[in-house]
């Protein structure tokens, strides 16, 4: 699971506030095809319990905090995201879930693919089968 990693982004600080940015194939290792965001998550809700066959993604907590749990079917890792100047790179082929959303949190997801339901593995048992587990 060493290919799942926190990537720190540039951060320009001055008296007017901070600025960070992301450029494809520079700060993140893929071309950007889609950006979506998750917000207004009611307390205790979990999102994104699934795997992707092809999609790579980079997840940033633009506001507030939440946890990203990633699993290869055997090992699990949990990353707490709570700053907008770093994010989590998740390659294809892992099971990932987002939970523990704080009030008013805003999760930005930058994706390497356009939306395709065919790219999702939504059943955990199918995920384990694909990983030969
Ligand atoms: P889904 O990926 O299942 O949400 P999460 O992983 O956060 O639990 O997406 C929820 C719904 O939104 C689902 O019907 C598919 C749709 N959707 C799109 O149409 N386009 C998109 O880019 C995304 C991410 C989801």
The answer to whether the CB of 48 is under 6 A from ligand 1 is yes
Residue 133: pLDDT above 90?
A: no
**Residue 67 is inside which H or E element, if any?**
strand 66-71
pTM over 0.85: yes
The number of C-alpha atoms within 13 Å of 9 and in the hemisphere containing its C-beta is: 25
**pLDDT tens string 56-109:** 999 999 999 999 999 999 999 999 999 999 999 999 999 999 999 999 999 999
Which ligand 1 atom minimizes the distance to the CA of 48?
A: 6
Take atom 17 of ligand 1 and give the residue whose Cα is closest. Answer: 115
The answer to whether the CB of 46 is under 6 A from ligand 1 is no
């Amino acid at each position: 699971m060493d290919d799942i990693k926190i990537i720190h982004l540039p951060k320009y600080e001055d008296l007017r506030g901070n600025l960070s940015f992301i450029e494809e194939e520079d700060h993140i290792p893929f071309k950007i095809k889609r950006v979506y965001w998750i917000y207004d998550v009611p307390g205790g809700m979990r999102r994104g319990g699934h795997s992707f066959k092809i999609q790579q993604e980079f997840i940033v907590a633009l506001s507030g905090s939440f946890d990203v749990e990633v699993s290869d079917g055997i090992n699990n890792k949990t990353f707490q995201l709570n700053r907008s100047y770093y994010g989590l790179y998740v390659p294809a082929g892992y099971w990932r879930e987002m939970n523990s959303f704080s009030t008013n949190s805003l999760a930005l997801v930058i994706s390497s693919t356009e939306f395709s339901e065919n790219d999702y593995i939504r059943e955990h048992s199918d995920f384990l089968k694909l990983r030969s587990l």
